C-alpha cells in the first residue's frame, strides 16, 4: 500500500465522487470503476510433481524498486509486487490499518491492490533527501554490494508445469572483487544463514520444498525470518514470496527473468538496522567511525523517522496503527555458485550508547 503524506481532503473528496487517485496525482484509468482483480502469483498447476532432473543457481543481477515514475507520471513502485492484504484501497476499500496518526499519512494501493510500502519509501526518498537508490544495481554488478539474495532451484522437471520443486534462498555477502557474471562466480554466504553438509555442500536455512511451476512461472513462499539484503544489510522478513519466469538455456544454465520478491517486514526491523543501513550509504568519517544516523542528531533523525513511519502499511500486532511495511522488488538473475560460509562478522557499534535507533517504534512522534 502507498503511504501518501498530507493528503488532507482526500476523504472529503470521496464523498463528492472525486477519485482519490486524481488528488494525489495517480491515475489508474478505470480501475476505480471495476471490481478489484487482485494481483496475485499464479496458483499451483493441476498436475503434480513431474520430475526432478533440473537444478540451478541464480544470483540477483538487476534490482528494481520502482523508485521512478512511469510515462504517465505515476510511481512505478505501485506496479511492482502483489496484493498482500486482500484489499484494494485505490477502490476506496477499507485499509487494514493506517500509519501512526502523527505522520498525517494515508495509503493507496496500486492496480490490483498491489502493496509496496518499501518501494514507495524509496520513491519518496528523493523528495525527503534528494537521493534515489538507483545505484543499487550498478553497485551489485560491480561487486561493491551484496545481491539481495541467491536462489537455488532443485527437484525441477524442466517442463512448463511442476507441482513440487525446491527453492532455497541464500543470503550473500559482497564478493570483494568485481564478478564476471559468467556463471562461475562463487558468492560468500553470510554466517548463520546456511549450514555446511558432510558432503561439502551448503544448505540454506530458508527453503520452500513445496514451491511449484505454472506455465514456466516459478512460485515460492519462503519462511518467516528470511532475510533480504539491501545495500549489504540483511533485513528479516515476516513473509516473502519469490516469483520469476524460468528461461530454458539456449546454452549454459537456466535463468530467472521478470522476477518479483514481495512480502512484509516489521517496522522494528527497519529501526534495528537503521544504523547499519545509513552507514552502508555514507561510509566512515575521518576517524574511521561509521557515518550512521543516530538519535544524537535530533533534527535529521526526526526526518528519517517520519519518512519511515509514513510508509508503514501492514499490521502484524494489535494496532490500531500499522507496524509493518510491504515490499515489492523486481529483479533478473544470472547463473552463479553458492560459495563457502563466511566467518562471523565482528559486532559494530554504529551509534553512541543511548542514541541507537534500535528499539524505537512509530508509536510516538520523534
- How does DSSP assign 17-62, residue by residue? T--HHHHTT---TTGGGS------PPPPPSS------EEEEEEEEE
Asked whether the beta carbons of 286 and 226 are under 8 A apart, the reply is no
Predicted pLDDT of residue 20 = 35
SS3 184: coil
349: in domain: no
360: in domain: no
Predicted pLDDT of residue 288 = 54
Helices (H) and strands (E) in the chain, counts: 8, 16
Predicted pLDDT of residue 4 = 32
The β-bridge partners of 75 are 69
Q: Please give the average pLDDT of every successive group of 10 residues along the chain, which has 366 residues.
A: 30 29 39 72 94 96 93 94 91 86 91 95 79 79 96 97 98 95 96 94 97 98 97 96 94 92 97 90 58 90 94 92 97 96 93 94 94
Burial class (CB in 10 A: 0-12, 13-18, 19+), 300: middle
Beta-strand relationship, 227-230 and 217-222? unpaired
Query: Measured between alpha carbons, how far is 312 from 309 in angstroms, rounded to an integer?
Result: 5
Burial class (CB in 10 A: 0-12, 13-18, 19+), 12: exposed
How many structural domains are present in the chain?
Answer: 1
CA-based end-to-end distance of the chain: 23
Query: Measured between alpha carbons, how far is 194 from 202 in angstroms, rounded to an integer?
Result: 7
pTM score of the predicted model = 0.88
56: in domain: yes
356: in domain: no
10: in domain: yes
Which cell goes with 321?
Answer: 496503527
Asked whether the beta carbons of 242 and 222 are under 8 A apart, the reply is yes
Identify the domain containing residue 313 by its residue range: 2-42+49-341
Which cell goes with 334?
Answer: 544470472
Asked whether the beta carbons of 170 and 150 are under 8 A apart, the reply is yes
Asked whether the beta carbons of 21 and 7 are under 8 A apart, the reply is no
Inter-CA distances, 227 with 83, 169, 288, Å: 21, 9, 28
189: in domain: yes
Cα within 13 Å of Cα(361), Cβ side: 10
18: in domain: yes
Question: What sign does the dihedral 293-294-300-304 (CA atoms) show?
Answer: positive
> Which among 70, 86, 127 has a CA at the least distance from the CA of 78?
70
364: in domain: no
> Which among 133, 150, 154, 157 has a CA at the least distance from the CA of 66?
133
Asked whether the beta carbons of 21 and 108 are under 8 A apart, the reply is yes
Predicted pLDDT of residue 290 = 64
Predicted pLDDT of residue 283 = 55
Predicted pLDDT of residue 133 = 59
Amino acid at each position: 500500500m502507498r503511504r501518501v503524506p498530507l493528503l488532507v481532503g482526500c476523504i472529503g473528496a470521496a464523498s463528492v465522487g472525486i477519485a482519490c487517485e486524481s488528488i494525489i496525482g495517480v491515475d489508474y484509468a478505470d480501475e476505480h470503476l471495476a471490481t478489484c482483480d487482485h494481483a496475485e502469483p499464479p496458483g499451483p498447476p493441476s498436475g503434480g510433481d513431474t520430475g526432478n532432473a533440473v537444478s540451478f543457481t541464480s544470483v540477483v543481477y538487476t534490482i528494481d524498486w520502482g523508485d521512478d515514475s512511469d510515462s504517465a507520471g505515476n510511481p512505478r513502485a505501485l506496479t511492482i509486487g502483489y496484493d498482500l492484504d486482500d484489499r484494494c484501497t485505490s477502490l476506496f476499500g477499507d485499509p487494514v490499518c493506517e500509519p501512526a496518526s502523527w505522520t498525517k499519512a494515508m495509503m493507496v494501493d496500486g492496480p490490483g491492490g498491489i502493496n509496496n510500502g518499501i518501494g514507495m519509501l524509496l520513491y519518496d526518498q528523493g523528495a525527503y533527501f534528494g537521493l534515489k537508490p538507483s545505484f543499487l544495481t550498478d553497485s551489485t554488478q560491480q561487486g561493491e554490494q551484496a545481491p539481495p539474495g541467491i536462489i537455488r532451484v532443485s527437484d525441477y522437471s524442466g517442463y512448463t508445469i511442476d507441482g513440487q520443486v525446491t527453492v532455497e534462498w541464500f543470503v550473500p555477502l559482497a564478493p570483494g572483487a568485481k564478478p564476471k557474471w559468467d556463471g562461475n562466480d562463487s558468492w560468500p554466504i553470510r554466517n548463520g544463514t546456511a549450514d555446511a553438509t558432510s558432503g561439502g555442500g551448503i544448505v540454506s536455512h530458508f527453503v520452500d520444498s513445496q514451491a511449484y511451476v505454472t506455465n514456466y512461472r516459478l512460485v515460492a513462499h519462503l519462511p518467516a525470518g528470511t532475510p533480504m539484503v539491501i545495500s549489504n544489510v540483511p533485513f528479516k522478513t515476516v513473509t516473502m514470496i519469490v516469483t520469476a519466469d524460468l528461461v530454458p538455456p539456449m546454452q549454459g544454465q537456466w535463468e530467472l527473468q521478470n522476477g518479483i520478491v514481495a512480502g512484509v517486514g516489521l517496522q522494528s526491523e527497519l529501526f534495528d538496522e537503521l544504523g547499519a543501513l545509513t552507514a552502508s550509504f555514507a561510509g566512515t568519517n575521518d576517524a574511521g567511525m561509521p557515518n550512521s544516523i543516530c538519535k544524537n542528531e535530533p533534527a535529521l533523525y526526526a526526518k528519517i523517522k517520519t519518512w519511515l513511519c509514513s510508509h508503514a502499511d501492514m499490521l502484524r500486532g494489535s494496532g490500531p496503527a500499522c507496524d509493518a511495511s510491504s515490499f515489492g522488488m523486481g529483479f533478473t538473475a544470472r547463473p552463479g555458485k553458492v560459495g563457502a560460509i563466511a566467518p562471523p562478522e565482528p559486532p559494530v557499534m554504529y551509534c553512541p550508547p543511548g542514541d541507537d535507533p534500535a528499539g524505537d517504534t512509530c508509536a510516538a512522534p520523534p
